[in-house]
Amino acid sequence: MNGKRRLFWQVYPSYLLITVIALAAATWYASGAFRTFYLDRTASDLKARARLFEMEVLPSLDPLDEKKVDRLTKAIGSHASTRITVILPSGKVIGDSDEDPASMDTHVDRSEFLQAMKGDFGSSIRHSLTLHENLMYAAIPVVKGGRILAVVRTAIPISGIDAAYQSIRTKVILAGLVIAAFAALLGLLVSRKITRPIQQIRDWAESLARGEYQLRPSIRGSREMEALSESLGQTAQELRERMETVVRQRNEMEAVFSSMAEGVVALSMEERVIHMNQVAADILCCNRAEANGRTIQEVARNTVLHRFLRDTLSSREPMEADVLMSPDEAFVVNAHGTMLLDSSGNRIGALIVLNDVTRLRKLENIRSDFVANVSHEIKTPITAIKGFVETLRDGAANDPQEAKRFLTIIAKHVDRLEAIVEDLLRLSRIEREAEKGGLTLIESRIVDILKTAVQVCQGRAEVK
């Protein structure tokens, strides 16, 4: 994120570079256009002067009078501020306004002369070895009767043109710099105007990410920026409502989990804890805050529980089992496991419900022991009664004295069965009254209660 450039530094330098390139191109083109324009105007002016001189020099060329031609070139050249040269088709100079023709070299290889000898207008710019400066030359053929009599060449220094060109070029460059500076300032203002609303929206979005649902800032800019701000405002409002709904649902779910007497553990398919209520944390003897995201093997070290969780995750049917949380069976948990599905119905883990059944299992053991003891107490008199009845049936009934003794014993065992049944009925009645709330509990001394019980049972014990 730190390596990314701000939008301002992406927009403004590009805008400034485009402006500078455009101005440089415009300056270069304008400068070249001005120079070309001046040179074309100068060439046209030289051509016009050559045409005027052609009419003056034509009578001296046919018949040829070299001295008259030279005098004429010097006279007109001095008044026209133009160097005029007359060249024969052979390249020999017969007249020049600035130099002695006899001292001048042949001009047969001059480019403007060659073009004029072809019947066209010829021009060129080059450094004059005679005058030691750059000149523009223009040459036209002097034709009479279809025959080229000579070539008239006019020339002027282009130092003035170069000076004017440099002056114009300097002014154009200065104007371009002024325009570039103005464009840079204008681009800076425009870039700031574009990036400022974006920065405001960014700061607002960051505050939303932090959960600070402050009012939407006043964004003044283009229609697109205002539309973006309004859209983000609507999104923020919807996000706030959804977050409030999520928080409310989470709080409600947390309240439900916290209010449950059973422990609830949600596991992922990787056996990592997704959620755990406080009851489950107490059962597993772990820290609830530290358990989230850790594997169940890290949270609870119980191989039976681990095996049950793996079976639940691998099965599509609900699972149930009792898990011993301590080796001495002092802590027993009943575990129920089922699939955990997302909103699309895809399996994402397992939901485990843990219920502490230690007291229930102890009560079941007590009840089992009680039933076994009662069965033994009932079976003993029944066995005795059955034995005496069989003895009487085998012939002891014929002896009145033995029969009376056996019947007395049978009667005692019947009374014993009756007492056992009465005790069971009394116990059942006490349980029903306790469930209905009809059993009244009062405070009393335990010694008095024990003495009363001894007195009640003493008579029966003495009889036995």
**419 — alpha (psi -120 to 50), left (phi > 0) or beta?**
alpha
> Is 267 found in the same domain as 235?
no
Residue 209 in domain: no
pTM for the whole thing? Answer: 0.42
> Is 342 found in the same domain as 374?
no
Residue-wise over 259-289: b if at least 16 C-beta within 10 A, else e? eeebbbbbbbeebbbebbbebbbebbebebe
Tell me which H or E stretch contains 221: none
Residue 191 in domain: no
> Is 118 found in the same domain as 32?
yes
How far is residue 251's CA from residue 242's CA, in Å, rounded to a whole number?
14
Classify burial at 352, counting beta carbons within 10 Å of its beta carbon; exposed 0-12, middle 13-18, buried 19 or more: buried
Residue 2 in domain: no
> Is 441 found in the same domain as 417?
yes
> Is 247 found in the same domain as 128?
no
Residue 192 in domain: no
Residue 46 in domain: yes
How far is residue 152's CA from residue 130's CA, in Å, rounded to a whole number?
18
Show which of 289, 321, 356 is a domain's final residue. Answer: 356
> Is 442 found in the same domain as 313?
no
Show which of 356, 386, 404 is a domain's final residue. Answer: 356
Residue 48 in domain: yes
Total domain count, the chain: 4
pLDDT at residue 298, rounded to an integer: 85
Residue 178 in domain: no
Give the tens place of pLDDT for each residue, 363-400. 778 888 877 887 877 888 788 788 878 777 777 667 77
> Is 455 found in the same domain as 393?
yes
pLDDT at residue 433, rounded to an integer: 73
> Is 236 found in the same domain as 142?
no
> Is 99 found in the same domain as 244?
no
Give the tens place of pLDDT for each residue, 422-440. 877 887 777 777 666 655 6
Residue 186 in domain: no
> Is 320 found in the same domain as 300?
yes
Q: Which long-range contacts (CB under 8 A, 24 or more apart) does 206-211 make?
A: 208/236, 208/239, 211/243
pLDDT at residue 296, rounded to an integer: 84
CATH of the domain at 293: 3.30.450.20
> Is 293 found in the same domain as 272?
yes
Show which of 259, 285, 317 is a domain's final residue. Answer: 259
CATH of the domain at 447: 1.10.287.130
Tens-level pLDDT at each residue, the chain (464 residues): 455 556 556 666 776 777 778 777 877 777 777 778 878 888 888 888 888 888 888 888 888 888 888 888 888 888 877 888 898 988 888 988 888 888 888 888 888 888 888 888 888 888 776 667 788 889 999 888 888 889 999 988 877 666 777 777 787 778 877 877 887 787 777 777 777 777 777 777 777 666 666 656 666 666 766 776 777 777 777 777 887 888 888 787 777 777 777 888 888 888 888 888 888 888 888 888 888 888 888 888 888 888 888 888 888 888 888 888 776 667 888 888 888 888 788 888 888 888 887 787 787 788 888 778 878 778 887 887 888 787 777 776 677 777 777 778 888 878 878 887 887 788 777 777 766 665 566 777 787 777 777 776 666 666 55
> Is 160 found in the same domain as 13?
yes
The parent domain of residue 448 ranges over: 361-463
